[in-house]
Structure 1
Amino acid sequence: MCRLFAITSETPMTPMVALEALDVMREGHDGSGVGIFLRDLGGPFEKIKDSPILSGIFTDQGIRRLDHYMMEHGFLTKHKVTIKVPKEQPPGVPKRDIYLIRAYEYPDSWEGWSEEKIYAELTRIRLELVEMGAEKEDMIVFSFWPDVIMLKEIGDPLTVARYLQLDREELQARVIMAQGRQNTNYAINLYACHPFFQGGFSTMTNGENTAFVPIREFLMSRNIPGYSGFESDSQVFVFILHYLFKQLGLGIDAYKHIITPLQDDVLAAHPDHVLLKHLKQTCRRLIIDGPNCVIGCLPDHSLFMVQDRKKLRPGVVGGRPGMYAFSSEICGLDAVIPNRDKSKDFQPMYMDTVVVGPDRGEVVVCQQTEALALQH
């Protein structure tokens, strides 16, 4: 099983906090990879939150191609963090030329564009860069979005973090998600390493989704830019989340009604049974099969956790006002927030959606049997 850790904090912190928590849970991952998602950034990126940030790994040739592409499209560099590593890498970590995090000024031609149009174009550019990188194997692009940084690498999470010196001030954030990977694929593909990102939403998962094929086919049939790649069976969770908000106009309390709908007898007594019955019928191909524990982040910086009906993957939420963490194991919580009221730790069951909002004031539990807010 993989191991997951996410934290939301009023005070920005470096990714090392999450990576050290993963290290405490190292028996649950095999050191085959690590993924990191940073949002609500601190440090130098805090003052330029509206600027799109490109995160990825590049060869020297790839950087030259990137620079040419971005200049051709009217982007100017506003701030960058270039991680140049020592010549000798740790065992199991591939040799790379440059890890790049670069914030840009928008092209002048974009002035006056709506947010929706800007976000659509950022997605299109990211997908084009991914395709360019795949063609010549000189670019791996994880994200291109305002106030978001993503890094992924093969190797033991804490070893990779120390190698890349991720304790630097430039990488501070108030929301951090990290996964220590248990390789279940035949080959290790960095794009298959969690967390995944789509249009302002991010998820990571511990488990396996054996309903992957019908879900992938449904999502691909929507012809929505960004619903592509599918390097991991868990990647569909972020696409379903995005579809829920952007296409169906529902909120996080409806997420489980899509991926794990209620049984018909329970559904009949639900306050929103007409809507939910319709959702269950029209979105039946999005129903997952687990076991899966999913942790995600919403555009407003809320963190959430859900389980599927099998509830065979561990997950716990705990903390104190101003700082809460979501962890695969309690020992991960203990390592980062030892002075919390442990009696308030919550382990969600299969009908629960646990949310800590952007105010980081409390843990909110939504149950599938409750009425929907119907707004997001």
Structure 2
Amino acid sequence: MCRLFALTSKEPVSPMLAIKALDVMKEGHDGSGVGILLRDLGGPFEEMKDVPILSGIFSEEGIRKLDLFMMDRGFMTKYKMNIKLPKEGLEGTPRRGMYLIRAYEYPESWETLDKDEIAHGLMSIRLKIRDMGEEKKDMIVYSFWPDTIMVKELGDPMAIGEYLGLDRKDLKARTIMAQGRQNTNYAINLYACHPFFVEGFSTMTNGENTAFIPIKDFLSSRKFPGYSGYQSDSEVFAHILHYTMKELGLGLDAYKHIITPLQDRDIDAHADKDFLRHLKKTCRQLIIDGPNCVIGTLLDNTLFMAQDRKKLRPGVVGGRPGFFAFSSEICGLDAVIPDRDKSKDIQPMHLDTAIVGPDRQEIKICRQTEPLRLPL
């Protein structure tokens, strides 16, 4: 199993807090990799909330290709953050070129685009850069999205955090997701490392998605370019979330009904039984087969946790107004928020989705037995 930790804070905090939580849970992961998502950024990015930020790993040749590609499309660098590596390498971690974090100004031609057109354009650029880097592995891109930074690497999470200097003062965020362990079901590939991201939606998972093939086939048939890649069977959770909210126009409560629908007898007793019957039938290929614990973020930095019916992957949520965390184990919470009221910790059951909204004031539980909030 891997281990998951996510936090949402009123004030920007260091990603090393999340890595610290992974470190105390290290008996539950093999230390073979780490992935980190930072949203609602602080520091120098505080005043650049609307401009896209590119994050990934590039060789010198890859940087030259990137610069030509971006300039050709009218994107000019607004701000860049360099991660300088120590001269001495880290055992178990390949020597890379540059870990790139670069904010761009939009081209003038984008000023008339609406939000959906901008989102599609940013996604298309990310996918094109990824394709450009496939042959020589000189361009690895994780995200190209406003107010977002992603870092992924092979090795022990704490060692990677120290190696990359992630405790720097200018790298802080209010929403952080971190996962410890590289993909083990397929070949080792940085694109297989959680969290996964598409157009502002992100998820990470502890478990195994044995229903991966039918889910992948369904999503691929939607002809949406972002539903691609699939180096990990867990990547589909982010894509289902996007499909639920962007393509179907439904809410987070419907996401749980899609991936783990109620049994037929429970649907018959539900206030929205007609809709839920239709949803279960039309989205049957998106039903997961766990065990899985899923943690995710939405466009507005809402953080949530959901599990399947098997409930064989642990998860706990706790904290205080202004600072909450989602963790695979209670010891992860204890390491980061030791002064919380532990009697208010919540371990979501199989019908529950635990949610902390962007105001970061409380944990809300959305149960599948409750009426749906339709439409959003």
TM-score bin, normalised by smaller chain: over 0.9
CA distance in 1, matches of 2:154, 2:170: 22
Name 2:225's counterpart in structure 1. 225
Name 2:60's counterpart in structure 1. 60
Amino acid at match of 1:350: H
Amino acid at match of 1:261: P
Deviations 1:12-61 (A, max 9, x none): 01100000000000011111110000000000001011000000001111
Name 1:175's counterpart in structure 2. 175
CA RMSD across the alignment? 0.8
CA distance in 2, matches of 1:180, 1:53: 24
Name 1:247's counterpart in structure 2. 247
Name 1:165's counterpart in structure 2. 165
* Structure 1 stretches lacking a partner, 5+ long: none
Matched, 1:288 2:288: yes
- 1:28·1:182 contact (CA, 8 Å) conserved in 2? no
Name 2:94's counterpart in structure 1. 94
- 1:29·1:182 contact (CA, 8 Å) conserved in 2? no
1:158/1:6 Cα in 2 relative to 1: closer, same or farther (>3 Å)? Answer: same
Amino acid at match of 1:100: L
Matched, 1:318 2:323: no
CA distance in 2, matches of 1:359, 1:271: 29
Deviations 1:112-132 (A, max 9, x none): 111111111000000000000
Matches within 5 A, 1:300-319: 300-319=300-319
Deviations 1:120-163 (A, max 9, x none): 10000000000001122101000000001001000000000000
Name 2:31's counterpart in structure 1. 31
Paired residues, number: 376
SS at 1:348's partner residue? coil
SS at 1:249's partner residue? coil
CA distance in 2, matches of 1:152, 1:38: 12
Q: What percent identity do the matched residue pairs reach?
A: 69
Name 1:82's counterpart in structure 2. 82
CA distance in 2, matches of 1:349, 1:96: 42
Amino acid at match of 1:286: L
Write out the 4+ residue segments of structure 1 that deviate beyond 3 Å after TM superposition.
Answer: none
SS at 2:30's partner residue? coil
Name 2:154's counterpart in structure 1. 154
- 1:30·1:183 contact (CA, 8 Å) conserved in 2? no
Amino acid at match of 1:159: A
Q: Return the TM-score normalized by structure 2.
A: 0.99
- 2:183·2:189 contact (CA, 8 Å) conserved in 1? no
Name 1:111's counterpart in structure 2. 111
* Structure 2 stretches lacking a partner, 5+ long: none
CA distance in 1, matches of 2:110, 2:326: 38
CA distance in 2, matches of 1:375, 1:133: 40
CA distance in 1, matches of 2:375, 2:156: 41
- 2:44·2:170 contact (CA, 8 Å) conserved in 1? yes
Matched, 1:137 2:137: yes
CA distance in 1, matches of 2:187, 2:117: 36
Aligned-residue offset at 1:186: 4.4
CA distance in 2, matches of 1:326, 1:203: 13
Amino acid at match of 2:122: L
Amino acid at match of 2:367: Q
Name 1:333's counterpart in structure 2. 333
CA distance in 2, matches of 1:55, 1:298: 19
Amino acid at match of 2:317: V
SS at 2:135's partner residue? helix
SS at 1:215's partner residue? helix
CA distance in 1, matches of 2:87, 2:116: 43
Deviations 1:278-324 (A, max 9, x none): 00000000000000000000001100000001000010000000000
Name 2:256's counterpart in structure 1. 256
Amino acid at match of 1:114: D
CA distance in 1, matches of 2:182, 2:195: 13
CA distance in 1, matches of 2:187, 2:240: 25
CA distance in 2, matches of 1:185, 1:256: 25
- 2:52·2:144 contact (CA, 8 Å) conserved in 1? yes
CA distance in 2, matches of 1:17, 1:296: 18
Amino acid at match of 2:162: R
Name 2:70's counterpart in structure 1. 70
- 1:84·1:97 contact (CA, 8 Å) conserved in 2? no
Aligned-residue offset at 1:110: 1.1
SS at 1:136's partner residue? coil
Matched, 1:358 2:368: no
SS at 1:311's partner residue? coil
- 2:197·2:203 contact (CA, 8 Å) conserved in 1? yes
Aligned-residue offset at 1:182: 5.2
CA distance in 1, matches of 2:139, 2:66: 8
CA distance in 1, matches of 2:32, 2:25: 14
Amino acid at match of 1:72: D
CA distance in 2, matches of 1:305, 1:147: 22
CA distance in 2, matches of 1:272, 1:170: 48
